[in-house]
Amino acid sequence: MAAVERGTDEWQKLDVAHHLHPFTDPKYFDTKGPLVVTHADGVYITDSSGRKILDGMAGLWCVNVGYGRQELIDAAHAQMQKLAYYNVFFQSATPPQIELSRVLSEITPGDLNHFFFTNSGSEANDTIIRMVRHFWEVEGQPDKQIFIGRNLGYHGSTLAATSLGGMAAMHGMGKSLLPGFEHIMHPHWYAEGGDLSEAEFGLKAAQALEDKILELGPENVAAFVGEPIQGAGGVIDPPATYWPEIQRICRKYDVLLVADEVICGFGRLGHWFGCEAYGIQPDLMPMAKGLSSGYLPIAAVAYSGRVHKTLQEGGLFSHGYTYSGHPVSCAVALANIQLIKDENLIQTVHDDTAPYFRKTLTDAVADHPLVGEVRGAGLLAGIQLVKDKATKTLFEEDLAVAVKCRDHCLNNGLIMRAVGQSMVASPPLTITRAQIDELVEKAVKSLDQTAADVGVM
Ligand SMILES: *Cc1c(COP(=O)(O)O)cnc(C)c1O
Gap from CA of 155 to ligand 1 centroid (Å): 5
Name 19's Cβ contacts closer than 8 Å, sequence gap at least 6. Answer: none
Distance CA(123)–CA(117), nearest Å, equals: 9
Domain-located, residue 5: no
**Three-state DSSP class for residue 150:** strand
Gap from CA of 159 to ligand 1 centroid (Å): 13
Final residue belonging to a domain, choices 320, 342, 364: 342
pLDDT computed for residue 29 by the predictor:
66
Gap from CA of 49 to ligand 1 centroid (Å): 30
- Please give the number of the atom of ligand 1 that sits closest to the Cα of 119: 7
- Please give the number of the atom of ligand 1 that sits closest to the Cα of 156: 4
Which residues does ligand 1 sit against, CB inside 6 Å?
Answer: 120-122, 125, 154-156, 227, 231-232, 260, 262-263, 288, 299
Domain-located, residue 6: no
Q: Look at residues 353, 369, 204 and name the one whose alpha carbon lies nearest to residue 361.
A: 353
234-256 burial code (b ≥16 CB/10 A, e <16): bbbbbbebbbebbbebbeebebb
- Please give the number of the atom of ligand 1 that sits closest to the Cα of 260: 13
Do residue 206 and residue 336 come from a single domain? yes
pLDDT computed for residue 404 by the predictor:
95
pLDDT computed for residue 308 by the predictor:
98
| For residue 1, pLDDT beyond 50 | no
- Please give the number of the atom of ligand 1 that sits closest to the Cα of 123: 9
- Residue closest via CA to ligand 1's atom 6 equals 121
Domain-located, residue 41: yes
Domain-located, residue 14: no
The pLDDT tens digits of the residues spanning 281-299 come to 999 999 999 999 999 999 9
Do residue 321 and residue 398 come from a single domain? no
Distance CA(345)–CA(436), nearest Å, equals: 16
Number of domains observed in the structure of the chain: 2
Domain-located, residue 75: yes
Predicted model pTM: 0.97
Q: What percent of the chain has pLDDT over 70?
A: 98
Distance CA(131)–CA(129), nearest Å, equals: 6
The pLDDT tens digits of the residues spanning 150-207 come to 999 999 999 999 999 999 999 999 888 999 999 999 999 999 999 999 999 999 999 9
CA 79 to each of CA 76, 84, 133, 258, 330: distance values in angstroms, whole numbers, following the listed order: 5, 6, 36, 32, 9
Pairing state of beta strands 422-425 and 44-47? unpaired
Do residue 311 and residue 330 come from a single domain? yes
- Residue closest via CA to ligand 1's atom 10 equals 155
Mean pLDDT of 380-409: 92
CATH number of the domain where residue 209 is located: 3.40.640.10
Mean pLDDT of 240-257: 98
Gap from CA of 64 to ligand 1 centroid (Å): 15
Gap from CA of 260 to ligand 1 centroid (Å): 9
Single-letter amino acid code for the residue at 42? G
Backbone angles phi, psi at 455, to 5 degrees: 70, 30
Average pLDDT, the chain: 96
Domain-located, residue 205: yes
- Please give the number of the atom of ligand 1 that sits closest to the Cα of 62: 1
Do residue 321 and residue 418 come from a single domain? no
pLDDT computed for residue 30 by the predictor:
63
Do residue 305 and residue 422 come from a single domain? no
Distance CA(24)–CA(286), nearest Å, equals: 26
CA 110 to each of CA 145, 203, 283, 290, 454: distance values in angstroms, whole numbers, following the listed order: 25, 25, 9, 20, 50
Q: 19, exposed or middle or buried, with CB in 10 Å at 0-12, 13-18, 19+?
A: exposed
- Please give the number of the atom of ligand 1 that sits closest to the Cα of 120: 7
Domain-located, residue 242: yes
CATH number of the domain where residue 384 is located: 3.90.1150.10
Gap from CA of 225 to ligand 1 centroid (Å): 13
Do residue 298 and residue 409 come from a single domain? no
Residue 434 is part of which domain span?
35-65+344-454
Domain-located, residue 120: yes
Gap from CA of 455 to ligand 1 centroid (Å): 36
Do residue 202 and residue 161 come from a single domain? yes
pLDDT computed for residue 260 by the predictor:
98
Ligand 1 pocket mutation, candidates 155, 237, 380, criterion most atoms within 8 A of CB: 155
Final residue belonging to a domain, choices 300, 315, 342: 342
Distance CA(152)–CA(69), nearest Å, equals: 34
Query: Which region among 29-33, 292-296, 374-378 has the lowest average model confidence (pLDDT)?
Result: 29-33
Mean pLDDT of 73-98: 97
Torsion of CA 187, 123, 250, 277, to 10 degrees: -60
- Give the model's confidence band at 4: pLDDT under 50 very low, under 70 low, under 90 confident, else very high: confident
Do residue 297 and residue 399 come from a single domain? no
The pLDDT tens digits of the residues spanning 331-361 come to 999 999 999 999 999 999 999 999 999 999 9
| For residue 105, pLDDT beyond 90 | yes
Final residue belonging to a domain, choices 313, 342, 371: 342
Gap from CA of 58 to ligand 1 centroid (Å): 14
Cα distance between the two ends of the chain: 54
Do residue 89 and residue 231 come from a single domain? yes
| For residue 3, pLDDT beyond 70 | no
Do residue 251 and residue 396 come from a single domain? no
Gap from CA of 408 to ligand 1 centroid (Å): 27
- Please give the number of the atom of ligand 1 that sits closest to the Cα of 122: 9
- Please give the number of the atom of ligand 1 that sits closest to the Cα of 289: 7
Gap from CA of 351 to ligand 1 centroid (Å): 27
Do residue 59 and residue 106 come from a single domain? no
Gap from CA of 256 to ligand 1 centroid (Å): 20
Gap from CA of 126 to ligand 1 centroid (Å): 11
pLDDT computed for residue 310 by the predictor:
98
Do residue 425 and residue 334 come from a single domain? no
- Residue closest via CA to ligand 1's atom 11 equals 155
Ligand 1 pocket mutation, candidates 125, 262, 287, criterion most atoms within 8 A of CB: 262
Name 248's Cβ contacts closer than 8 Å, sequence gap at least 6. Answer: none
67 strand-pairing partners: 42
Angle between helices 70-82 and 327-342 (to 10 degrees): 150
Ligand 1 pocket mutation, candidates 61, 62, 120, 164, criterion most atoms within 8 A of CB: 120
CB 368 within 8 A of CB 386: no
